[in-house]
Amino acid sequence: MARNYKACWERVVTTMMGVTPDRVPLIFLTSEDVAARVAGLTIREMMSSPEILAEKSIMVNDFLGGDGMALVANPYCGPFEGLAFAKANGRNDVFVWKDYTTPFIREGLLCQSEKEIEALEIPDHNIIEPWPTLFRAIAILQEKTGIGVDQFSPSLTWSSVQMLRGSQAYLDVRQNPDLLMKLCEKIYASQWNYYQAYCRLAGQPNFAFQCSYAFNQHMLSFEDAWKFEGQFIARFAKESGLPLIIHNCGFKPYHIELIERLQKEQVQVLGVNGSHPLDIDWWVEFRKKFPEITIMGGLHVSAEMENGTEKDVENRIKEVIQKLGSDSRLIITPTCCMPWRVPLSNIKAVAEAVTKYGKYPIDPKSWPTS
């Protein structure tokens, strides 16, 4: 390993606790795309065993230079949850593997009818691959680096709703809400099984990195999002006892409304991860409203990182740290996963800029002028 990841993770934990670390932490949301580029292997080659997956995850994280240790086959309940449902229901044909980018399930083919929703089998995450491989790889990361357990990432529920039901789900919100709710309950049962298998094979997480996709103005109204996703997020947090980091990589998120509703439900929100709104001043006002919540973001992967120069990336991070970094509840987190079109030089520029401008105490007067 090229870095002391235990010390890096302590920097992250210190920030989440509201204590000032030595510098602003940096976390990359690693994924299959960037991992294949760095490791030089196909997705399935990297996932061929827990040992290989852990080894390549360390390699990729060392290359990126962040403060986290993330599995490069993303263990959130997204595409691989779709694969588990496909396998559990004898429909491997609906899953599409890619060699160098994230695989996917053909949306809406597993639950086209009410009969298929009724008959939908819940996958056992203890035995249905790739989950056992992913969980055991996380355990290996924990053993080798001292961190790794906190990659628990449920996605209750809209990600799975879209994978299983497709665009019909949006019509169901109005035309067949009872059937849609029945599907949501099955998805919840599956992700509770995911949680139990995670604890058994990887270890007990300290928080849940909840991927909340319904909570965007371009997706659903807030009340519909709460009905078909939010109530399940709150239920999970209460039943598991885990605080939440809310991830939302949509373009018009209901950040404030969701956090206020979760707090009303007595759910602890540790952090919010997102790139939008892009206006940093919006986040300044967010900080005033929720000073206890860590902001994890600051950089949109499809903006400066994909279409700009290294200097554009540096300037964006400089501005984010100047406006949001002074009270220590900031983690620079390019959002979301980095696609093929992001130059590696721009990825490296992120870590360089955080090192250059992120040392505490934040004092722009002491920053280099070039």
Tokens 């491997």 belong to residue: 92
Give the start-end residues of each E strand in the chain: 95-96, 104-105, 208-211, 244-247, 269-274, 294-300, 330-335
CB environment 317-348: b (16+ within 10 A), e (fewer): bbebbebbbbebbbbbbbbbbbeeebbeebbe
Q: What is the pLDDT of residue 370?
A: 67
CA proximity to 152, closest of 164, 134, 130: 134
Q: Quick one: which of 145, 117, 185, 150 has its CA closest to 58?
A: 145
The second-level CATH assignment, the architecture, of 5-358 is Alpha-Beta Barrel (3.20)
Determine the pLDDT at residue 82. Answer: 97
Upper half-sphere CA count for residue 351 (Cβ side, 13 Å)? 15
CA–CA dist 120, 186 (Å, integer): 8
- Rounded (5°) CA angle 319-322-323: 85
Alpha carbon distance 280, 149 (integer Å): 31
Rounded alpha-carbon distances, angstroms, from residue 50 to 56, 138, 141, 206: 10, 8, 10, 22
CB 234 within 8 A of CB 154: no
Residue listed under structure tokens 């490791």: 39
Which DSSP category does 92 fall into? G
Question: What is the domain partition of the chain in residue ranges?
Answer: 5-358
pLDDT at 327: 85
Instruction: Give pLDDT tens digits along the chain (370 positions).
Output: 568 888 898 999 999 999 999 999 999 998 899 999 999 999 999 999 999 999 999 999 999 999 988 899 989 999 999 999 999 999 999 999 999 999 999 999 999 999 999 999 999 999 999 999 999 999 999 999 988 778 899 999 999 999 999 999 999 999 999 999 999 999 999 999 999 999 999 999 999 999 999 999 999 999 999 999 999 999 999 999 999 999 999 999 999 999 999 999 999 999 999 999 999 999 999 999 999 999 999 999 999 999 999 999 999 999 999 999 998 899 999 998 888 899 999 999 999 999 999 999 999 988 987 6
- 5 contacts 324 by C-beta, under 8 angstroms: no
- The pTM is what? 0.95
**Contact predicate 73/101, CB 8 Å:** no
Gyration radius of the chain's alpha carbons = 20
Helix (H, G, I), strand (E, B) or coil at 313: helix
What is the C-alpha to C-alpha distance for residues 163 and 357, in angstroms, rounded to an integer? 41
> Measured between alpha carbons, how far is 365 from 2 in angstroms, rounded to an integer?
32
Roughly what angle, to the nearest 10 degrees, separates helices 310-324 and 344-357?
A: 30
What pLDDT is recorded for position 1?
Answer: 53
Would you state the pLDDT for residue 6?
80
pLDDT (0 to 100) of residue 337: 87
